[in-house]
Amino acid sequence: YGDYEVLGVVLEKYLRPSDSILQIGCGNSQLAAQMYDNGFRSIHSIDTDSVVIEEQRARNKQRPELVFLKDDATAMSFGDDSFSAVVDKGTLDALLPPNATPQQLDSVRKVFLEVERVLKVGLGMLSGTGFCYEFTKWETALLDFPCPSSY
């Protein structure tokens, strides 16, 4: 799904080092650390796997401003308007396989609702997901997702 070498150009185009950034579904990705090393400081990364979160915390002790939390992107514990940007490298791909069930579609809707809720008004989400392009039949379903009220 790419690291900073691949994604850095896009991240630097749309994000400022001063932004408060949330990475959903961080897994064992090095992206938050690479962003930190390139000047981004306020990064919260979440994943549902507590083992992964503990590994990330241990690996990034020398990056004190990075925060790794066990949390679920479909029901986040953050308050409204908490972040300037949300970054996703593949969580939505994992939640939406080609033959998605109604429950899986509902999970994706919940992620978008949560992203809208935690984002400050007028700001956005950068997603490295490929399902918009790969699974054309889901494109219509994506149009049903609510957009932030500022649009």
Instruction: Considering only the C-alpha atoms of the chain, give the largest distance between any 2 of them, rounded to a whole number of Å.
Output: 45
Per-residue pLDDT of the chain (151 residues; tens, 9 = 90+): 567 888 888 888 888 999 999 999 999 999 999 999 999 999 999 999 999 999 999 999 999 999 999 999 999 999 999 998 888 887 887 888 888 889 998 998 899 889 889 988 755 555 544 333 333 333 333 333 444 444 3
Inside any domain, residue 43: yes
Instruction: State residue 13's pLDDT score.
Output: 86
| 148 domain-assigned | no
Residue 78 located in a structural domain: yes
Write out the two tokens for 97: 């396989």
**Is the torsion defined by CA of 70, 75, 77, 80 positive or negative?**
positive
According to the model, what pLDDT value does residue 124 have?
A: 52
* Structural domain contains residue 150: no
pTM (2 d.p.): 0.80
DSSP 50: H
Strand order in the sheet with 119-127: 66-70, 43-47, 21-24, 83-88, 119-127
Domain boundaries, position 48: 4-143
The predicted structure's pLDDT at residue 94: 81
Please give the pLDDT value at position 130.
39
Q: What are residue 123's phi and psi, to 5 degrees? A: -110, -175
> What pLDDT does residue 88 have?
86
| Burial of 32 (C-beta count, 10 Å sphere; 0-12/13-18/19+) | buried
Domain count, the chain: 1
CATH number at residue 96: 3.40.50.150
- Contact at 8 Å (CB) between 126 and 10? yes
According to DSSP, the residues that pair with 67 across neighbouring strands are 44
Is 66 part of any domain? yes
pLDDT confidence of residue 148: 46
